[in-house]
Structure 1
Amino acid sequence: MGEFVIKMPDVGEGVAEAELVEWHVKTGDPVQEDMVIAAVMTDKATVEIPSPVTGTVIWLGAEVGDKIAVKAPLVRIETSGDVAHDRVEAPAAPAASTAPDSEPRTVQPAETQSPKPAPAPRREAPAPAEKPLASPSVRLFARETGVDLRQLKGSGPAGRILREDVDQFLARGELPSVQPAMAKKTSTEEVKLTGLRRRIAEKMSLSTSRIPHITYVEEVDMTALEELRATMNRDRKPEQAKLTVLPFLMRAIVRAVADQPNINATFDDDKGILTRHGAVHIGIAAQTPAGLVVPVVKNAEARGIWDCAAEMGRLAEAARAGTATRDELGGSTITISSLGSLGGIVSTPVINHPEVAIVGVNKIAVRPAWDGTQFVPRKMMNLSSSFDHRIVDGWDAATFIQRVRVLLETPALIFIEG
């Protein structure tokens, strides 16, 4: 018998460690070569770690939520080979997602740890014992189709649930058991925040604790723009993306920040340096099954309405599918936050640190408006926008939003250069 020690691979240039977000195996499980055994997350991407050997798991080197240094022991696998104590770095295949930085417990490389522990007693990972084995893509598909993976029996190695298992479950038309609607519930559940969810929590804490927010709300008459948008969508070419309000808002922001460069900026509050950006890289906050991510439309100042719409659609799809790259999920200079039809009347968006402004989009609703002689129905929408009050005064915030309002209410101005 032999033993392979699989080490944490180098998952990206400049990345010294990654957070363990999921085990696909537990101690005692058989594994096959190329079978995914774990998933780790860097600051921008989730990476699946496959096993390069066939054997049995005898030791797990970390718990979900730990940060693991590159080259640190990750898994020990007992094999049927004759060579003992081989150590290999597993190859890594990037799968997806994003979020802000966090500082969980770090597992250091073997060189800085005590000598190799004996395989017995074997360490059991607490979470995998109860969690069904499935890849992130299968988990995403199950969430989207409303399937509880705990109801399925996997046909893959070590009972791993495959996409085909979910498809067959759906084809049989099986439904989860339903509890009586009026049944008394006494259970509680503690959920450890890991991966993207924890990084979002820490990013929001950083932003609200370090940035003094000022929020400015203004209503915008969207009637003319909605008529123009409907006409452009009706006449669009088959290869062109359908226009939403956001591409028009993106172009309005480009025009407005040209007069107020302090708003298209990032602030290093540790060094006290404000960086004004000539390029307008607009982050679009997007909800995914894993949590909130912010894909970035780069150089919106050089894109027309249709180009903005196409790039925004491409990035949103990549974010939902978990295939967005690190570059596509970073580098924004100002952010738009929109909940679409769920946008409500007013919101208080949190600034995407280290930016100094975020423009929040609320829902469009028909409301009566006075035209000087009578009340007429108009399509109205509120903009709820937050600014870093250390950099942006209330007057400047109002001036910026009023400029955006004028551009949206008179959409022809968006297309006039200069």
Structure 2
Amino acid sequence: MGTHVIKMPDIGEGIAEVELSQWHVKVGDLVVEDQVLADVMTDKAMVDIPSPVHGKVIALGGQPGEVMAVGSVLISIEVEGAGNLKESAAPAPVKEAPVAPKVEAAVESKPAAATAPRPAAVCQGPMVAREADERPLASPAVRKHALDLGIQLRLVRGSGPAGRVLHEDLEAYLAQGQSNASAPVAAAYAQRNDEEQIQVIGMRRKIAQRMQDATQRAAHFSYVEEIDVTAIEELRAHLNEKHGASRGKLTLLPFLVRALVVALRDFPQMNARYDDEAQVITRLGAVHVGVATQSDVGLMVPVVRHAQARSLWDSAAEISRLANAARNGKASRDELSGSTITLTSLGALGGIVSTPVLNLPEVAIVGVNKIVERPMVVKGQVVIRKMMNLSSSFDHRVVDGMDAALFIQAIRGLIEQPATLFVE
């Protein structure tokens, strides 16, 4: 028997240390080649560390939340043969899962036709006891299937190699659960005194740090305006009816992206980044719109690049593609960086008003609230109109209040008179 030592890999880009986010194995576990051993976090990505060998875990090199230097010992595995104890080999290639850039906590509402997850399954079928933070072996497709079914994957017994959870295991779990669906409800009313402490590590730590950094460094101020979206919703419905089958369905987001692009022609100071250390404002000709998107691994802001050069359907397709990539953990670093202004929407959960946090080093973020039908007075008559608020924030260090108000009013005019979106 020998020992195979896996060292903390060099992620690249000059990174000297990374945070150990989560272990997926423990001492004594048998592992197989390509099984994910741990997650580590860099400033830009969550990285899976797979096993290059079959063997038994004999030592772990750190605790979750610990910052480890590149090249330090991550894990030791007992293997057949001589191992690599004296001459450590480079680990197997790592797989990136994107991390949320500096963004405000919001959900992009409609760009992708993603299926909403079902409520968590009440009754369990064939079960296996795992720790709350233990991640079972399963393919991305199986994980997505479990999410859609509302099943906690850690409770499912896997029948595949090394306990890997298969699609059949999910169906067996669900079928067994349905046969036991008459669980008593008395426990829901029982008194509880239990407590749970959750360590803030990994992606949640990065989000917390970036949120705190944004609110401490920038002088936030918000401006809220209501917009009549009746006309643009009618236009959207008409275009979907006429071209939806051939070009794809349009949500409100590509119209908002178009409104941003047109309004920024007169307000270039909003399409900018502020380097507060160098005291330099950089205004950009290209409009790269970040679209805040919620995913299973955290908040992300994929970037619609060169939005000023895209048609409605081109923007819609790109928003959908990027949102799907972010939610499936396949968005690249380039797709998650480089935005010049951010659009964030809580969709049906948008409420009346929100106060979005800037995506530094940007100086403006436009937040979209929900659409509601309300009686409004139009030309002396009370009529039902579709109304929506824009709740937007700006960096008051470089954006004056008057300019922010005029910018939002420009967007309002474009949305309320949608033909002007396309008049050059």
- Please indicate the TM-score interval, normalised by the length of the shorter structure: 0.7 to 0.9
Q: List per-residue Cα deviations over 1:109-153 (Å, max 9, x = no partner).
A: xxxxxxxxxxxxxxxxxx969625335835554344221234322
1:74 aligns with 2:74: yes
- 1:289 aligned residue (296, 316, 320): 296
Name the SS for the 2:397 alignment partner: coil
* 1:134 paired to 2:129: no
Residue in 2 aligned with 1:329? 336
Q: Does structure 1 retain, via aligned residues, the 8 Å contact 2:22–2:39?
A: yes
SS of 2:57 mapped into structure 1: strand
TM-score by length of 2: 0.86
| Structure 1 residues 400 and 310, CA gap change in structure 2 (3 angstroms) | same
The 8 Å contact of residues 101 and 336 in structure 2, kept in 1 or not, is answered as no
Deviation at 1:181, TM superposition (A): 2.0
Structure 1 pair 393–151 and aligned structure 2 pair: CA distance change class (3 A): same
Partner of 2:98: 97
Larger relative contact order (CA 8 Å, sep ≥ 6): 2
User: Helix, strand or coil: the match of 1:77?
Assistant: strand
TM-score (norm 1): 0.87
SS class of match (2:268):
coil
Which one of the candidate residues 144, 148, 152 is aligned to 1:148?
152
SS in 2 for 1:412: helix
Does the 8 A contact of 1:240 with 1:310 survive in 2? no
- How far does residue 158 in structure 1 lie from its aligned partner after superposition? 4.8
Q: In the TM superposition, what are the counterparts of 1:15-414 in structure 2 within 5 Å? A: 15-83=15-83, 85=85, 86-100=87-101, 131-134=134-137, 137=140, 139=143, 141-156=145-160, 158-174=162-178, 180-414=187-421
Structure 1: 5+ residue stretches without partners: 102-126
Q: Residue 19 of structure 2 contacts residue 68 of structure 2 at CA under 8 Å; is this kept in 1? A: yes
* Percent of aligned positions that are identical: 54
> Cα gap change, 1:276/1:412 in structure 2, threshold over 3 Å: closer, same or farther?
same
The RMSD of aligned alpha carbons is 2.2
Q: Would you say the 8 A contact 1:281–1:299 is kept in 2?
A: yes
Aligned equivalents of 2:194, 2:63: Cα separation in 1: 25
Q: Is the 8 Å Cα contact of residues 44 and 325 (structure 1) preserved in structure 2?
A: no
Deviation at 1:33, TM superposition (A): 2.3
Unaligned runs of 5+ in 2: 103-129
What is the total number of aligned residue pairs between the two structures?
A: 392
Q: Does the Cα contact within 8 Å between 1:32 and 1:54 map onto a contact in 2?
A: yes
Offset of residue 19 of structure 1: 2.6
Matches of 1:365 and 1:49, distance apart in 2: 47
Measured in 1, the distance between the counterparts of 2:248 and 2:11 equals 34
Q: Is the 8 A contact 1:38 1:49 kept in 2?
A: yes
Judged with a 3 Å threshold, the aligned counterparts in structure 2 of structure 1 residues 236 and 409 are, in CA distance, closer, same or farther, namely: same
What residue is the counterpart of 2:115 in the other structure?
none
CA distance in 2 between counterparts of 1:20 and 1:144 reads: 29
**Do the aligned residues in 2 keep the contact of 1:45 with 1:98 (CA within 8 Å)?**
yes
SS of residue paired to 2:238: helix
